[in-house]
Chain A
Amino acid sequence: MPEKRNYKILIVDDDKDILSMLEMAFLPTSYDVTTIDHPLQAYKMIENEHFDMVISDIQMPQMDGLTLLRKIKNFNGMIQVVMMTAHITISNTLDAFRYGAVDIFFKPFEDINEIIAAADGVAVKLNRVNSILHKLAEGEK
């Protein structure tokens, strides 16, 4: 059995207050949360460190969140990405799912606990998939 890990989450938003707020909201959870206010730096971190989940804003200077999503999915399809945006449009929503996001949340959030619930859902999925991957790896040995 794989050990139950504290999944690592990277949160990306150019609004530092929102980052602090989300960090706060995740405080009572067991997730290991890192925040960054710059999408290009965020991608560098994803290349260099392990993250299980990314929660990213869409409208950001330097790089659009949807572009970041595509780059992450290209780099490692296992990383689960949740999008958030204040720019509520049909195309943002459809593109987010088209490019492989697991969920999308609109600002201001209905309830911040929905984002934690989304992370929990991702965690359940990762637990299940990781245990299968683990078994497969065991079998190959």
Chain B
Amino acid sequence: MQQETSKPFLQPFTVPEKSEFDILIVDDEFVNRFLLKDILEQDGYRTHEANNGIEAIDAAVHRKTDLILMDIMMPDMDGYETCRRLKEDPRTDNIPVIFVTALTDTENLVKGFAVGAEDYLGKPIKEGEVRARVQTHLKLKAAMDKISLYNEELEKVVAESSRELIRTERQAAFGQLIQGIVHNLKGPLTTIRGSSQACRSTLKMIRNEIEPGGDSPLPDISKVAKLTDGAIKAIDLAETASGRLTEMINSLMSKSSADQSSKPERLDLNSIIRSELAFLEGDLHFKHHIKKNIDLTTKPIPILAIAPELAQVFNNMISNAIDAMHGNADQTISISTTLNNHYAWLSITDTGGGIAPENINKIFDPFFTTKPKHDDSNPSPKGPIGTGLGLYMCLRSIKALNGDILVESKKGEGTTFNIKIPLAGPIEIS
């Protein structure tokens, strides 16, 4: 808890002491500056001064400045121009500017607000008015600063919790896939074990047949030949199955070592897709109930990416497609890659219910989801669940590759996601 409360955005908002505020006074007349300085310092503020526009900008950039009180009529650069420049510069655009002016007719006031000034003080100045306006704008400025700090912190927290949630989600999915993969290993294992046992039984029968003093006085040659062929076939089967087993284990190993890499590398988009699909076969629902149309370019597609991140994006998009088709009669996923204008395009289409038009612009927002969330209020949801972070993280990962994700969806017909990734170099001609 101690750590939690130390985060600035969780602290209650209080206006700082007056002595913590620095006010810049800009006027070419010494007397005017002196008058304002006197009022403000008596009130407890710290002040610094500039006697023209250029100096004012320099001071605002280089010294801590919380508020600017500025004359309009100054030689060389007037107050309007100075204010305009201050508001254009991201280093100074959040400092409130109050014009101190004798020109209080509407036209001039409008001109002042047009260049971004926050307020004005009429000349001759009145002490009470100066105090009140300055205090109001400093309070406002402090509140604005706090809000932008909150926002920055919140963004950091969102990004971090997203990563955390995605990690948790992935771990859970991984656990489930491991079960599926182990299940897939049982197939070849059943063949190997059964074939060896069948082979032993067959060999015993051969031995029985040819042993002197056995069941028959003379070995039945054609029976022995038939049994021998059977035994050879059993051994062939065991060998093929052990090859399958090795292949499965190898692809699991290469997937798990690819999952360790954290630097961008030159990768083949098609092999990432193939290896992720092989991995997803561990999911029995995906393996048995989803029809797959896979149409990848025959040549490798070189891209620059971090392998596990790209695999995660792909995995996420496929999971979304599967979830979108939950309960449908026709569950088909079409996956294709194409090349166009220095970009690789990966297209993933499902035959799900489509995205409602009112949601299509929100799907990449963090925490937006149409699936029930898994939380305390909903401990055992039916059907697919979501955090609303999947697509948000996908888009972040793809944007980091200077790519993009485009979506097309028709309610009732399904959804296509087109993922665009820049090519890393020419296509190899094999």
Contact = CB atoms under 8 A, between A and B. Distances in A.
A111 B193 CA distance: 8
A25 B187 contact: no
B187 A17 contact: yes
Contacts of A109: 190, 193-194, 197
B186 A21 contact: no
B183 interface: yes
Interface string B181-192: 001001111111
Interface string B227-262: 100100110010011001000000000000000000
Given A61-B288, A86-B183, A24 B195 contact: yes
Interface residues of B, number: 30
Interface string B283-325: 0100111000000000000000000000000000000000000
Interface string B203-232: 001000000000000000000001100100
Contacts of B115: none
A21 to B, nearest CB: 4
Given A112-B197, A113-B201, A21 B187 contact: no
B47 interface: no
Contacts of B193: 108-109, 112
Main secondary structure of the interface of B (DSSP, over half): helix
Contacts of B195: 21, 24
Contacts of A111: 197
A21 B198 contact: yes
B188 A17 contact: yes
A107 interface: yes
Given A24-B230, A27-B202, A18 B194 contact: yes
Contacts of B287: 61
Contacts of A24: 195, 198-199, 202, 230, 233-234, 237
A36 interface: no
Nearest to B241: A17
Contacts of B234: 21, 24
Interface string A40-77: 00000000000000000001110000000000000000
- Most chain B C-beta atoms within 10 Å of own C-beta, residue among A24, A61, A87: A24
Nearest to A64: B288
Interface of B: 183, 186-195, 197-199, 201-202, 205, 226-227, 230, 233-234, 237, 240-241, 244, 284, 287-289
Given A15-B187, A107-B189, A112-B198, 7 more contacts: A15-B190, A20-B237, A21-B191, A21-B194, A28-B205, A109-B193, A112-B194
Interface of A: 15, 17-18, 20-22, 24-25, 27-28, 59-61, 86-87, 107-109, 111-113
